[in-house]
């Protein structure tokens, strides 16, 4: 949550300007940094933030910071130790003061974790609790409510009810936003409305609408994010995929090059991997076979060296095989098709 992060950082800055050393405020600043690091998907920085939080907590034991520390640790462990992540989120929610509006942030992120873990019924139950809290206590916290509504729509998007997700964005999220306002909170939520809606319009085949919403999102986030904000890379990849589907391969490649360039500036290897993977596919469609193979091998190298996983390697092998196949190099094609099958079989069996 960027707004909360910057509040923490600003608070810490003011303390430092007064010449005081205050561990409580310092802790808040690290929490704020951890939020930002999470938004940038910089794993090593999350690790650093958690280590610093641990060292400070051991020294000063502020009980009201413990839920925040567990919340950040949950971020850290999401894709490594799901069971630990679950218990950390539950601890954070159960131990934060129920009158503290930050509890909505905790619910929003926990719900997102449950959705992406395909725990549909649990996600629905937590959504019900969080929306009830908004109605009873926190209706005036527009940004937090808006983030929760984004998650509400994402719930239906993820489980295949795309029309319902669009309905929530249009009938509940959009009325919450003053579209003429230059207030940063309204502009942030308006941007999120376009970003989330674009996904659903894309899946139901309204590609021009999705493309329009992606560009509107980019226009709005320029007001409050740096040119190397990680969501630019995600959005450029989405735009390129739409152009790819429409058959505009050269335009698709331009946006992928932008995404890769920003990812390299950020050292964001997740989005760099995605950018390289999709670029290799576009080059294959352009029949630039050697370039496609080179790009896909870069994607494999990025995944192995920096992420230590084999999720995209199997897919890359499939498209490398297709490059050889289309050139009638059948032995090489057979080798890479077999690699793809072996990698993906092993992954899904485990």
How many alpha carbons fall within 13 Å on the CB side of residue 323? 24
- % of the chain at pLDDT higher than 90: 46
Residue where the block lists tokens 């998907």: 41
Which is nearest to 86 in space by CA: 43, 130, 58, 116? 116
Cα 303–chain centre separation = 18
CB of 316 closer than 8 Å to CB of 280: yes
Band of the pLDDT at 91, cuts 50, 70, 90? confident
**What does the pLDDT read at residue 152?**
96
Which is nearest to 234 in space by CA: 204, 185, 209, 198? 198
Higher-confidence position of 290 and 26: 290
Read off the tokens for 162: 């795309």
* Average pLDDT for the chain: 81
**What does the pLDDT read at residue 84?**
80
Read off the tokens for 334: 């057979």
Higher-confidence position of 33 and 239: 239
**What does the pLDDT read at residue 9?**
46
What is the pLDDT averaged over residues 128-150? 90
Distance CA 186, CA 145 (A): 12
Q: What is the pLDDT of residues 269-295, one digit of tens each?
A: 888 999 999 999 999 999 999 999 999
According to the per-residue pLDDT averaged within each range, which of 5-14, 35-44, 205-214, 336-345 is highest? 205-214
Distance CA 96, CA 93 (A): 6
**What does the pLDDT read at residue 38?**
47
Cβ atoms within 10 A of the Cβ of 301, count?
A: 14
CB of 112 closer than 8 Å to CB of 158: no
Distance CA 195, CA 236 (A): 12
Q: Is the pLDDT of residue 195 over 90?
A: yes
247: region left, alpha or beta (phi > 0 left; psi from -120 to 50 alpha)? left
**What does the pLDDT read at residue 79?**
59
3-state secondary structure of 296: helix
Q: Is the pLDDT of residue 13 over 50?
A: no
What is the pLDDT averaged over residues 117-133? 95
Q: Is the pLDDT of residue 22 over 50?
A: no
Contacts of 297 (CB under 8 A, 6+ apart): 316, 320
Q: Quote the pTM value.
A: 0.74
* Core vs surface per residue 15-51: b (16+ CB within 10 A) or e: beeeeeeeeebbbbbbbbbbbbbbebbbbebbeebbe
**What does the pLDDT read at residue 48?**
56
**What does the pLDDT read at residue 86?**
85
Rg (CA), the chain: 22
What is the pLDDT averaged over residues 161-173? 96
Q: Is the pLDDT of residue 85 over 90?
A: no
C-alpha pair distances (Å), 143 with each of 40, 231, 349:
20, 18, 41
């Amino acid at each position: 949550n960027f707004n909360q992060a910057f509040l923490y950082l600003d608070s810490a800055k003011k303390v430092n300007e007064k010449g005081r050393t205050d561990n409580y405020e310092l802790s808040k600043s690290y929490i704020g940094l951890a939020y930002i690091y999470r938004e940038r998907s910089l794993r090593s920085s999350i690790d650093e933030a958690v280590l610093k939080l641990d060292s400070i907590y051991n020294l000063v034991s502020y009980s009201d910071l413990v839920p925040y520390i567990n919340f950040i640790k949950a971020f850290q462990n999401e894709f490594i130790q799901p069971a630990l992540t679950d218990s950390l989120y539950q601890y954070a929610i159960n131990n934060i003061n129920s009158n503290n509006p930050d509890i909505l942030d905790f619910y929003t992120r926990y719900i997102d974790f449950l959705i992406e873990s395909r725990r549909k019924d649990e996600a629905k139950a937590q959504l019900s609790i969080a929306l009830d809290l908004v109605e009873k206590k926190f209706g005036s916290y527009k940004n937090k409510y808006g983030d929760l509504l984004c998650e509400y729509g994402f719930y239906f998007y993820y489980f295949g009810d795309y029309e319902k997700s669009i309905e929530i964005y249009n009938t509940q999220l959009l009325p919450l936003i003053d579209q003429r306002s230059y207030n940063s909170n309204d502009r942030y939520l308006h941007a999120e409305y376009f970003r989330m809606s674009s996904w659903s319009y894309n899946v139901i085949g309204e590609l021009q609408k999705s493309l329009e919403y992606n560009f509107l999102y980019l226009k709005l986030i320029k007001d409050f994010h740096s040119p190397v904000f990680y969501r630019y890379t995600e959005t450029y990849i989405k735009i390129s995929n739409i152009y790819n589907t429409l058959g505009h391969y050269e335009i698709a490649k331009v946006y992928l090059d932008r995404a890769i360039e920003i990812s390299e500036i950020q050292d964001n290897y997740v989005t760099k991997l995605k950018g390289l993977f999709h670029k290799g596919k576009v080059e294959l469609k352009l029949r630039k076979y050697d370039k496609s193979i080179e790009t896909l091998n870069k994607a494999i190298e990025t995944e192995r060296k920096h992420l230590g996983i084999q999720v995209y390697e199997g897919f890359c092998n499939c498209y490398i095989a297709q490059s050889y196949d289309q050139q009638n190099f059948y032995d090489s094609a057979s080798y890479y098709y077999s690699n793809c099958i072996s990698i993906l079989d092993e992954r899904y069996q485990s």
